[in-house]
């Protein structure tokens, strides 16, 4: 029996307002409890792919095709339907942990806000926010709740952001280069947390240009070039024996850098 | 404590405000009762009229301070009105964007092109001369600047990632505007406000000077300037004192606004 995927994307295309294609005929699936790595160069449309799934693609752009999240069709869904999914069912994590926080509000307030909006009372929201911070290995979560974003280090901010994104245990987490701005230690912590989330049944779409990250956590990989999928498959197989020219180029570039920095 | 121009300005403002608040309260004289035995007196320590009296025998110091009261009151009330309207208008236009933005900003453009003085004249003809009308007239005009600044700032904020993050978290638009955009506008609105207040003070003085503002026996700095100008040859003090106060108020507000702007920009 074939297991129903959590997200099934068919012929998804995105055109800019001026008609230029950003994404072309994407076709892929994300299973339950699976981490899908999306790799590609800057400008290959990775971030736009994630945003368009949430109905937040660039202004004036047109989305066509189909993206089924469970039974819910995301393409062409009403703003209200999409908003009900955002945050609760589908959460998103951004690259820059400083920019994704409102600089004028305390961490605790911003975390609680997400829960309060869904009718959870203040005390319960605070307890859950506190537990979520502890789950991402942040020391003294009570203190972090009272702090402003600029008082935390970059790594702490990103882990807090991960806590916020997974606060209402979404079924699908869209992560847009979540580790790019982090030091290796924090990277490992964030990836470790992602593995735990996967074990708990969460599906993750992990956009990155770091093949090391893909090798570390992704189950399957999708390679995107100029808005077109050039290759996809099992992560282990694809990284060992890439079929496409473009994938090989990416891999070679990564190996070269690794050789330079003498890291495993 | 370092002595700096902005600090002195703040001190000056506080001094004038305090004087405007306290002097009419502790003085034995009020601003409207004529004293026919002591008309047009010069400054004197005996008899209690510290700065003398006007041609109706009313205490000049008390009237000056009442003038400041009215001027400051109009400035605060009108700027509050313009702040509320301006921020709401600007945030909604900037955040909604598209057609909503276009329509809202064209409304601002149209209002901008209405000549101010005839507008106030028409208002006073329609509704009579009233202080509340003055608040509304000035507020109705000065919110336009704030709305434009706030809209521009909102456009910038909207492109920031934490707004996208809030949208992705599923927060409704109203919450995003209220919790995430407005708090980030405090700096720029504050600066805008400190520059709007002196403009409103001069506008009020101008309107009162030509007789469209505060009505006798109530006074304001503009009214006192007009009265003083009528007898400036005989008693220059009646003109010099309100003029000095007006200049001091406006100058202090402007200096303070500049200092705030520099700090905000830096």
This complex has an ipTM of 0.73
Q: How close A170 gets to chain B, by Cα (Å)?
A: 11
Residues forming a β-bridge with A21: A15
Higher-pLDDT residue of A96, B145: B145
Could you give the CA distance from residue A233 to residue B9 in angstroms, rounded to a whole number? 70
Determine the residue among A102, A110, A116 to mutate to test chain B binding: the one whose Cβ has the most chain B Cβ atoms within 10 Å. A102
- Give per-residue pLDDT as tens, B200-214: 899 888 888 888 877
For chain B, give the mean pLDDT.
Answer: 86
Q: How close A90 gets to chain B, by Cα (Å)?
A: 8
Residue percentage of chain B with pLDDT more than 70:
97
Q: How close B161 gets to chain A, by Cα (Å)?
A: 5
A–B interface: beta-carbon pairs under 8 A: 64
**Does the distance separating the beta carbons of B160 and A99 come in below 8 Å?**
yes
Strands A35-39 and A220-225: parallel
For the cut 60, the answer to whether the pLDDT of residue B266 exceeds it is no
Using CA atoms, how far residue B3 sits from B6, B11, B252, in Å, is 9, 11, 15
Given this model, what pLDDT does residue B248 score?
93
Could you give the CA distance from residue A13 to residue B213 in angstroms, rounded to a whole number? 63
Could you give the CA distance from residue A204 to residue A38 in angstroms, rounded to a whole number? 10
Count the residues in chain A.
Answer: 264
Given this model, what pLDDT does residue A264 score?
43
Residue B16: pLDDT band with limits 50, 70, 90? very high
Higher-pLDDT residue of B248, A182: B248
Any chain A CB within 8 A of the CB of B99?
no
Q: How close B168 gets to chain A, by Cα (Å)?
A: 6
**Does the distance separating the beta carbons of B162 and A100 come in below 8 Å?**
yes
Sorted by sequence, the CB contacts under 8 Å of residue A41 that are 6+ apart come out as A209, A225, A250
Q: Contact B170/A85 with Cβ under 8 angstroms?
A: yes
Tokens of B136: 């509304």
When pLDDT is averaged across residues B33-47 and rounded to a whole number, the result is 75
Given this model, what pLDDT does residue A230 score?
87
Any chain A CB within 8 A of the CB of B101?
no
Q: How close A40 gets to chain B, by Cα (Å)?
A: 21
For the cut 80, the answer to whether the pLDDT of residue B118 exceeds it is yes
Chain B residues touching residue A103 (CB < 8 angstroms): 162, 184
Given this model, what pLDDT does residue A239 score?
82
Q: Contact A41/A254 with Cβ under 8 angstroms?
A: no
Chain B residues touching residue A96 (CB < 8 angstroms): 161
Strands A172-176 and A203-208: parallel
CA angle B143/B146/B148 to nearest 5° reads 110
When pLDDT is averaged across residues B43-66 and rounded to a whole number, the result is 80
Handedness of CA A106, A112, A116, A121 (dihedral sign): negative
Given this model, what pLDDT does residue A148 score?
92
Any chain A CB within 8 A of the CB of B173?
no
Which stretches of chain A score pLDDT less than 50? 1, 262-264
Given this model, what pLDDT does residue A259 score?
62
Sorted by sequence, the CB contacts under 8 Å of residue A62 that are 6+ apart come out as A14, A15
For the cut 90, the answer to whether the pLDDT of residue B150 exceeds it is yes
Could you give the CA distance from residue B67 to residue B59 in angstroms, rounded to a whole number? 12
Given this model, what pLDDT does residue A9 score?
92
Given this model, what pLDDT does residue B60 score?
86
Could you give the CA distance from residue A63 to residue A66 in angstroms, rounded to a whole number? 9
Could you give the CA distance from residue B261 to residue B192 in angstroms, rounded to a whole number? 8
Could you give the CA distance from residue B28 to residue B43 in angstroms, rounded to a whole number? 16
Any chain A CB within 8 A of the CB of B263?
no
**Does the distance separating the beta carbons of B171 and A113 come in below 8 Å?**
yes
Any chain A CB within 8 A of the CB of B44?
no
When pLDDT is averaged across residues B91-104 and rounded to a whole number, the result is 93
CA angle B247/B252/B254 to nearest 5° reads 95
Higher-pLDDT residue of A104, B46: A104
């Amino acid at each position: 029996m074939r297991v129903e995927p959590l997200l099934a994307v068919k012929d998804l295309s995105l055109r800019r307002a001026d008609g230029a294609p950003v994404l072309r005929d994407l076709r892929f699936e994300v299973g339950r409890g699976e981490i899908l790595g999306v790799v590609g160069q800057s400008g290959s449309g990775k971030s736009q792919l994630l945003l368009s799934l949430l109905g937040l693609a660039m202004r004036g752009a047109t989305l066509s095709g189909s993206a089924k999240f469970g039974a819910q069709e995301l393409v062409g869904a009403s703003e209200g339907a999409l908003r009900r999914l955002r945050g609760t069912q589908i959460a998103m994590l951004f690259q820059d942990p400083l920019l994704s926080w409102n600089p004028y509000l305390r961490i605790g307030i911003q975390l609680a806000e997400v829960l309060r909006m869904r009718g959870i009372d203040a005390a319960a929201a605070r307890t859950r926010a506190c537990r979520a911070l502890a789950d991402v290995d942040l020391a003294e979560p009570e203190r972090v709740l009272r702090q402003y974003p600029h008082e935390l280090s970059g790594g702490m901010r990103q882990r807090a952001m991960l806590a916020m994104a997974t606060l209402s245990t979404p079924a699908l987490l869209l992560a847009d280069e979540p580790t790019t701005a982090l030091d290796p230690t924090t990277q490992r912590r964030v990836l470790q947390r992602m593995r735990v989330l996967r074990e708990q049944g969460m599906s993750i779409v992990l956009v990155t240009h770091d093949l090391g990250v893909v090798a570390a956590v992704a189950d399957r990989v999708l390679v995107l070039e100029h808005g077109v999928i050039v290759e996809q498959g099992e992560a282990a197989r694809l990284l060992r024996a890439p079929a496409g020219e473009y994938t090989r180029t990416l891999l070679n570039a990564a190996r070269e850098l690794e050789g330079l920095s003498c890291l495993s | 404590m370092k002595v700096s121009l902005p600090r002195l300005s703040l001190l000056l403002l506080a001094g004038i405000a305090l004087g405007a608040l306290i002097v009419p309260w502790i003085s034995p004289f009020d601003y409207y009762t004529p004293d026919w035995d002591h008309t047009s007196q010069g400054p004197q320590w005996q008899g209690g009229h510290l700065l003398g009296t006007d041609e109706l025998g009313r205490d000049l110091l008390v009237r000056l301070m009442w003038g400041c009261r009215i001027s400051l009151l109009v400035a605060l009330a009108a700027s509050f009105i313009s702040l509320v309207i301006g921020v709401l208008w600007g945030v909604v236009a900037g955040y909604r964007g598209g057609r909503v933005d276009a329509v809202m900003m064209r409304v601002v453009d149209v209002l901008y092109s209405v000549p101010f003085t005839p507008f106030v004249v028409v208002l006073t003809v329609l509704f009579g001369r009233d202080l509340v009308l003055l608040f509304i007239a000035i507020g109705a005009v000065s919110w336009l600047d704030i709305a434009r600044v706030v809209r521009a700032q909102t456009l910038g904020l909207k492109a920031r990632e934490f707004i996208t993050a809030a949208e992705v978290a599923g927060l409704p638009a109203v919450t995003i505007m209220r919790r995430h955009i407005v708090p980030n506008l405090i700096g720029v609105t504050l600066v805008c406000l400190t520059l709007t207040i002196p403009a409103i003070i001069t506008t009020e003085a101008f309107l009162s000077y030509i007789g469209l503002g505060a009505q006798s026996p109530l006074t304001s700095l503009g009214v006192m300037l007009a009265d003083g100008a009528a007898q400036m040859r005989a008693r220059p003090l009646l003109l010099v004192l309100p003029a000095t106060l007006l200049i001091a108020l406006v100058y202090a507000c402007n200096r303070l606004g500049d200092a705030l702007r520099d700090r905000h920009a830096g």
